[in-house]
């Protein structure tokens, strides 16, 4: 069943410039499935923010079954490929104003990739979240920070909630007043120092035996918390602004993502991915920081890791791109963030005539930079060695437009809040790619460096080892 109205142009309503996306988020208070995707705006130099709520349809995948909920609580279930179902719901492509004029917004969890790679389910501890949770939205608030403009885009058949949001925005709604966010217990981890060392040695043995070249090994963290996750997200974006921020709220929990890594972008037929491999912490002073940057630039190991993943992604893109169109305009460029420095590459291509954004997503999912190489074997090893499912972490967050465009980030530097403001739990993860010449202490410390901001949110200091 298609829910997209074809042939009628969307309505465009100009708004006052919404410099702070949290102010816009306040206007959707009380509406179901609110989702904010932001680019860092004036703080990080990003361009677009997208805010949606009150979807006309939702798709929820668990254990191989997708439930499609329509208006008036009508629903149907299917074991078909969830991306095929999503394509059916979105309907045929139709032009609309860039970058987003309605469509699908949500996440594709890491474990969804087992279906595309034909891997059996693992015995890991479940994350408690759907493998896929996507809403189909017929109105959106879009802000262009470069032009300092905001607008509401309203597709035909949009729920009347858009008028309510418009009135709230016209009244200069303030950022939501939410309960302070506080940790209330000890921080637990899926892999303490000793368990991480054992897993590290298993990966090293697999690499020596020729099973794989790289495995991205991650550890999870969890603690009891009290307070509104909106408050936690507002703190995260102030403490460590990133080019791919996301605040996604569904009945089972709230996703708080602060990712530096773009996964897949489709504009027209143009395709881009920006893998990250290679990390150093920010220095304690300017001289130390310059030293960390120089060490990362000159690291043969980190550059080799990055190039390895670039090659993997070139192959993944090749499943959906026109032969000869894939190229690498930027290899191992250094980018700096609030907490770490990264090496980032850019791979581009052009979709083949018979392919679309969902074909590209299926062929590339999950991202090579958070699995390893070869991807299928790396995923098998990850399922064997990591005690917890990753869930949203290392999946993809973002949108697919009615016009066929797509913007997805890799859900790293991502946390999951479940429960209420009075009693909840916060879970987050950190990981890194292991190769033949990886050193245990350095890799373990890199995980802590990446988790530093989330650990501060959880009331911990990264220097302290945590009990399993």
Kindly list the distances between the CA atom of residue 374 and the CA atoms of 100, 211, 215, in Å, as whole numbers in the listed order. 34, 9, 9
* Residue 210 domain flag: no
**177 confidence band (pLDDT: 50, 70, 90):** low
Would residue 305 show up in a list of annotated catalytic residues for this protein? no
Q: Is pLDDT above 90 for 429?
A: yes
Please state which of the ranges 6-15, 214-223, 228-237, 411-420 shows the lowest mean pLDDT. 6-15
The pLDDT value given to residue 127: 78
C-beta of residue 405 within 8 angstroms of C-beta of residue 266: yes
Sign of CA dihedral 229, 234, 240, 244: positive
Q: What residues contact residue 163 under an 8 Å CB cut-off, 6+ apart?
A: none
What's the whole-number mean pLDDT along residues 178-184? 83
The pLDDT value given to residue 118: 83
Q: Is pLDDT above 70 for 86?
A: yes
Task: Quote the tokens at residue 164.
Answer: 């309510």
Q: Please, which residues bridge with residue 37 across strands?
A: 50, 246
What's the whole-number mean pLDDT along residues 420-443? 94
Residue 142 sits in which domain range? 11-180+225-373+389-424
Helix axes 357-364, 300-318, angle to 10 degrees: 130
**173 confidence band (pLDDT: 50, 70, 90):** low
Q: Is pLDDT above 90 for 1?
A: no
Kindly list the distances between the CA atom of residue 213 and the CA atoms of 60, 74, 172, in Å, as whole numbers in the listed order. 34, 48, 54
Comparing C-alpha atoms, which of 270, 258, 266 is closest to residue 408?
266
Sign of CA dihedral 193, 196, 202, 206: negative
C-beta of residue 34 within 8 angstroms of C-beta of residue 21: no
Distance CA 236, CA 295 (A): 27
The 3-class secondary structure across the chain, one letter per residue, is: CCCCCCCCCCEEEEECCCCCHHHHHHCCCCCCCCEEEECCHHHHCCCEEEEECCCCEEEEEECCEEEEECHHHCEEEECCCHHHHHHHHHCCCCCCCCCCCCEEEEEECHHHHHHHCCCCCCCCECCCCCCEEEEEECEEEEEECCCCEEEEEECCCCCCHHHHHHHHHHCCCCCCCCCCCEECCCCEECCCHHHHHHHHHHHHHHHHCCCCCEEEEEEEEEEEEECCHHHHHHHHHHHCCCCEEEEEEECCEEEEEEECCEEEEEECCEEEECCEEEEEECCCCHHHHHHHHHHHHHCHHHHHHHHHHHHHHHHHHHCCECCCCCEEEEEEEEEECCCEEEEEEEEEEEECCCCCHHHHHHHHCCCHHHCEECHHHHHHHHHHHCCECCCCCCCEEEEEECCCCEEEEECCCEEEEEECCCCEEEEEEEEEEECCCCCHHHHHHHHHHHHHHHHHHCCCCCCCCCCC
The pLDDT value given to residue 170: 83
Distance CA 332, CA 342 (A): 9
Q: What Rg value do the Cα atoms of the chain yield, rounded?
A: 21
Q: What residues contact residue 147 under an 8 Å CB cut-off, 6+ apart?
A: none
Q: Is pLDDT above 80 for 40?
A: no
% of the chain at pLDDT higher than 90: 76
The number of CA neighbours under 13 Å toward the Cβ of 445 is 10
Q: Please, which residues bridge with residue 75 across strands?
A: 69
Residue of 179 and 247 predicted with greater confidence: 247
The pLDDT value given to residue 464: 44
* Residue 201 domain flag: no
* Residue 18 domain flag: yes
* Residue 26 domain flag: yes
* Residue 205 domain flag: no
% of the chain at pLDDT higher than 70: 94
- Express each pLDDT in 386-397 by its tens digit: 999 999 999 999
What's the whole-number mean pLDDT along residues 37-42? 76
pTM of the model: 0.93
What's the whole-number mean pLDDT along residues 406-417? 96
**325 confidence band (pLDDT: 50, 70, 90):** very high
Q: Is pLDDT above 60 for 172?
A: no
> How many structural domains comprise the chain?
1
The number of CA neighbours under 13 Å toward the Cβ of 421 is 11
Q: What are phi and psi of 132, to 5 degrees?
A: -140, 135
**467 confidence band (pLDDT: 50, 70, 90):** very low
**246 confidence band (pLDDT: 50, 70, 90):** very high
**Candidate list 261, 386, 407, 443, residue with the active-site label:** 261
**314 confidence band (pLDDT: 50, 70, 90):** very high
**46 confidence band (pLDDT: 50, 70, 90):** confident
* Residue 191 domain flag: no
**Candidate list 111, 131, 277, 450, residue with the active-site label:** 277
* Residue 57 domain flag: yes
Distance CA 445, CA 442 (A): 5
* Residue 331 domain flag: yes
**465 confidence band (pLDDT: 50, 70, 90):** very low
Q: Is pLDDT above 70 for 117?
A: yes
Average pLDDT across the chain, whole number:
91
Would residue 149 show up in a list of annotated catalytic residues for this protein? no
Residue of 438 and 468 predicted with greater confidence: 438
The pLDDT value given to residue 213: 93
Q: Can you say whether residue 73 is alpha, beta or left, with left for phi > 0 and alpha for psi between -120 and 50 degrees? A: left
C-beta of residue 408 within 8 angstroms of C-beta of residue 258: no
Q: What are phi and psi of 254, to 5 degrees?
A: -125, 130
CATH number, domain at 338? 3.60.120.10
The pLDDT value given to residue 267: 95
């Amino acid at each position: 069943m298609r829910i997209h109205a074809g042939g009628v142009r969307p309505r465009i309503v100009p708004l006052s410039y919404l410099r702070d996306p949290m102010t816009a988020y306040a206007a959707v208070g009380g509406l179901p499935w609110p989702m904010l995707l932001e680019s860092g705006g004036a703080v990080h130099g990003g361009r677009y923010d997208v805010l949606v709520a009150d979807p006309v349809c939702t798709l929820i995948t668990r254990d191989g079954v997708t439930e499609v909920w329509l208006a008036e609580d009508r629903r149907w279930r299917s074991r078909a490929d969830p991306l095929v179902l999503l394509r059916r719901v979105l309907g045929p492509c139709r032009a609309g104003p860039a970058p987003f004029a309605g469509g699908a917004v949500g996440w594709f969890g890491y474990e969804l990739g087992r279906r595309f790679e034909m891997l059996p389910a693992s015995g890991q501890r479940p994350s408690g979240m759907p493998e896929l949770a996507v809403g189909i939205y017929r109105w959106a608030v879009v802000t262009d920070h470069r032009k300092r403009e905001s607008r509401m885009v309203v597709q035909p058949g949009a729920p009347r909630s858009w008028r309510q949001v418009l009135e709230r925005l016209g009244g200069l709604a303030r950022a939501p007043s939410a309960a302070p966010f506080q940790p209330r217990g000890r921080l637990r981890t899926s892999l303490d120092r000793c368990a991480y060392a054992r897993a590290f040695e298993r990966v090293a043995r697999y690499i020596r035996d020729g099973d794989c070249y790289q495995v991205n090994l991650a550890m999870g963290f969890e603690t009891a918390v009290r307070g509104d996750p909106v408050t936690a997200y507002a703190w995260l974006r102030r403490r460590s602004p990133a080019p791919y921020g996301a605040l996604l709220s569904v009945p089972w929990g709230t996703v708080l993502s602060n990712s530096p890594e773009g996964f897949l972008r489709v504009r027209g037929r143009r395709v881009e991915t920006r893998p990250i491999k290679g990390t150093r912490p920010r220095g304690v002073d300017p001289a130390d920081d310059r030293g960390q940057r120089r060490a990362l630039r000159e690291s043969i190991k980190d550059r080799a890791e990055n190039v390895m993943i670039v090659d993997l992604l070139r192959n993944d893109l090749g499943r959906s791109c026109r032969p000869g169109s894939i190229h690498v305009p930027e290899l191992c460029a250094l980018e700096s963030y609030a907490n770490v420095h990264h090496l980032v590459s850019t791979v581009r291509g052009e979709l083949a005539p018979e392919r679309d954004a969902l074909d590209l997503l299926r062929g590339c999912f999950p991202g090579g930079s958070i699995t390893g190489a070869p991807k299928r074997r790396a995923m098998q090893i990850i399922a064997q060695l990591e005690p917890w499912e990753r869930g949203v972490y290392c999946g993809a967050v973002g949108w697919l437009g009615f016009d066929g465009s797509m913007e997805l980030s890799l859900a790293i530097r991502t946390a999951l809040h479940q429960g209420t403001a009075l009693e909840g739990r916060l879970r987050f993860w950190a990981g890194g790619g292991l190769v033949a010449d990886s050193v245990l202490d350095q890799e373990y410390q890199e995980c802590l460096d990446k988790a530093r901001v989330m650990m501060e949110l959880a009331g911990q200091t990264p220097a302290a080892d945590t009990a399993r």
